[in-house]
Structure 1
Amino acid sequence: MVALFEPDAVIDTGAAELTRGHEAIRALFEAFAESGRKFQRGEQRPAAINGDLALTSTRLADGSIISEVARRQRDGTWLWVIDRYSVAW
């Protein structure tokens, strides 16, 4: 999962502070996996792309929305720079 993010990316989980950078993101996902929780499935919405930035989002079954901002890399791939989880997460 960490490979999907830029090295200095941030995740807003709703906690007081943002999760910032690969090391903290890795720790977040490790804790998530160890807890036994599962990601919710949802309906992926079409990406809104403007140049080298894209806003992506998923509508979850409970109506909440997860959103991400991705940046196109020099090789043409996309990596997330901001990830904001739903409060329901």
Structure 2
Amino acid sequence: MSNRTKAMKPEDITRLFVERSNAGDAEGVAALYEQDAVMAYPPGGQTVGRAAIQALWEKVLANRPHFEPEEPLPTLVSGDLALTSTPPSDGAGARAQVVRRQPDGSWLRVLDQPEFTTPTSG
């Protein structure tokens, strides 16, 4: 991993995710996850482990999607675990992540439940 900015509070992860995704940095997005993290994506499935998460984001980011920052909901913290969430701008559901404090004081995602919506044709 390079000298990327670390998430020093749980809410930083969402901002860093948006910045890195919009820059097309799949490795940087994956670096926001613990080595054995679990992401509930693709819909109906799971992606397990940082390497698999990076491979998934390489495919997603190849299409150069643009992500908008979303205002986080209040974070719940219990010791070295935190629950972060954001309401999607389209108002459909919510996104939630469990993050864990690392030995250096930074935070990484352990569980990620993104809410991806498929555009409808019309």
1:19 to 2:44 alignment: no
Match of 1:79 in 2: 108
Higher strand share: 1
Match of 1:4 among 32, 48, 70: 32
The 4+ residue runs of structure 1 with deviation greater than 6 A are: none
Name stretches of at least 5 consecutive residues in structure 1 with no aligned partner. none
Distance 1:39 1:13 in 2: 17
In the TM superposition, residue 87 of structure 1 has moved relative to its aligned partner by 3.7
Are the counterparts in 2 of residues 10 and 21 from structure 1 also a CA contact under 8 Å? yes
Identity percentage of aligned residues = 40
TM-score in terms of structure 1 length: 0.88
Match of 1:46 in 2: 74
RMSD: 1.6
Larger radius of gyration: 2
Are the counterparts in 2 of residues 47 and 54 from structure 1 also a CA contact under 8 Å? yes
Q: How many residue pairs end up in the alignment? A: 89
In the TM superposition, residue 40 of structure 1 has moved relative to its aligned partner by 4.1
